[in-house]
Amino acid sequence: MTKKISISEGFKGEETIALPLDILQMQKLLPAKKNLLITHIGYYPEARYHLRNREQGCKEHILIYCSEGMGWVTHQNRTVHLSAHTYYLIPAGEAHSYGSRDSNPWSIYWLHFKGEDSGLVQSLKGKPLALKNTGPQSKKHSLDLFHNIYENLKFGYHAETLDYISFTLLYFLASLKYQEQYLRNSRLNNENMINKCIAIMKENLEKKLTLQELSTLIGYSSSHLTRLFTEKMNCSPMTYYNRIRLEQACQYLKYSSYKIKEIAFKLGYFDPYHFSRSFNKEMGITPKIYRQQYDIPTDQINQ
């Protein structure tokens, strides 16, 4: 008889953070100590053969979010099946097991945390939660906060960061319970962020703005900004930025007497040939031919 394969961790592409014991001790002294304290957080993509069995439970609460595929949680003498965009919160100290389906393994975001706050944990535990279909952003809405927590932890365990994460976790859980209220605010914030991002791009058309510089100005991590921007605009921030730079190049070619190499330098292309290739790829013709279409007098242009 072939023994069934089971894996608790170590999946290709996984990302995990486990806070050191001394940091967990320090967290207890922070202003947010009466709220919630994260101990572990991570992401397992396509976690085939994933299986955990804890007959004595876990010291921390466990929140599992299935983003793709399928899996299951056995808790309180029943088995709950999780599919894409469903959550389950396992309370600390309660026996449980969970794992992925062999044929369609789940991808999960997960975190362990300690503490209680105003009955919020109690109201969420022990029941499957599906994100409500209230709009195109609903399927990813709370993951914005998950990524925010994870990205901040990647930068270290400073006291202010840990305090911020504790309050953000509370907000994260509240976003699950009060989804409509969260989405109402989230849509507005995301739209404001996108508008601010585009405004910064337009203010820096004549500078070679990098993704890291743009992310710093917005106050998001590069990966988080890229994900939100792409969801809204159907292209990455840098793709959009390069497009509007080339749109500005069109204006210069039509209405100015700048040389083509001068236009390239003005827009942050320090190699005129790179500028011409980029322009040709986007517009389908070279800058020189584009300019000739508008009959700029040749005595005004020295190409």
Residues 26 and 146 in one domain: yes
Cross-strand partners of 65:
87, 109
Q: Which residues contact 11 (CB under 8 A, 6 or more apart)?
A: 44, 45, 46, 47, 48, 50
Q: For position 145, what pLDDT does the model report? A: 85
Side by side, the strands of the sheet bearing 86-90 are 15-18, 37-44, 107-114, 61-68, 86-90, 129-130
Residues 100 and 222 in one domain: no
58: left (phi over 0), alpha (psi -120 to 50) or beta: beta
Q: Which of 142, 177, 212 is the last residue of a domain?
A: 177
Binned at pLDDT 50, 70 and 90, residue 296 comes out as low
Side by side, the strands of the sheet bearing 51-54 are 51-54, 96-100, 71-75, 78-82
Query: Which residue from 165, 142, 143 is spatially nearest to 154, judged by alpha carbons?
Result: 165
Q: What does pLDDT average to over the chain?
A: 83
Measured distance CA(118)–CA(291) in Å, rounded:
66
Q: For the chain, where are the alpha helices, taking DSSP H only?
A: 21-27, 120-124, 143-154, 159-177, 179-203, 211-218, 222-233, 237-255, 260-266, 272-283, 287-292
**CATH code of the domain in which 172 resides:** 2.60.120.280
Q: Which of 115, 148, 177 is the last residue of a domain?
A: 177
Portion of the chain with pLDDT greater than 70, in percent: 83
Binned at pLDDT 50, 70 and 90, residue 209 comes out as confident
Binned at pLDDT 50, 70 and 90, residue 192 comes out as confident
Q: Indicate if the pLDDT at residue 291 is higher than 80.
A: yes
Residues 166 and 41 in one domain: yes
Q: Indicate if the pLDDT at residue 3 is higher than 60.
A: no
Contact by Cβ (8 Å): 88, 176: no
Q: Which residues contact 279 (CB under 8 A, 6 or more apart)?
A: 246, 249, 286, 287, 290
Residues 61 and 166 in one domain: yes
Q: What is the pLDDT of residues 122-154, one digit of tens each?
A: 888 887 877 765 444 445 556 878 888 988 888
For residue 266, give Cα distances in angstroms to 122, 143, 184, 226, 232.
Answer: 59, 39, 41, 26, 29
Sign of CA dihedral 192, 194, 197, 201: negative
Residues 148 and 262 in one domain: no
- Neighbouring C-beta atoms of residue 253, cutoff 10 Å: 23
Would residue 7 count as lying in a domain? no
Residues 229 and 270 in one domain: yes
Measured distance CA(96)–CA(64) in Å, rounded:
13
Residue type, 120: L
What's the number of domains the chain is made of?
Answer: 2
Would residue 6 count as lying in a domain? no
Residues 204 and 171 in one domain: no
**CATH code of the domain in which 294 resides:** 1.10.10.60
Q: What is the pLDDT of residues 9-61, one digit of tens each?
A: 778 878 888 877 766 665 555 554 456 889 999 999 999 999 999 999 999 99
Residues 52 and 150 in one domain: yes
Which value, in Å, is the radius of gyration of the alpha carbons in the chain?
25
Q: What is the pLDDT of residues 93-133, one digit of tens each?
A: 999 999 999 999 999 999 999 876 557 888 888 878 777 65
Q: Which domain holds residue 226?
A: 190-303
Residues 22 and 158 in one domain: yes
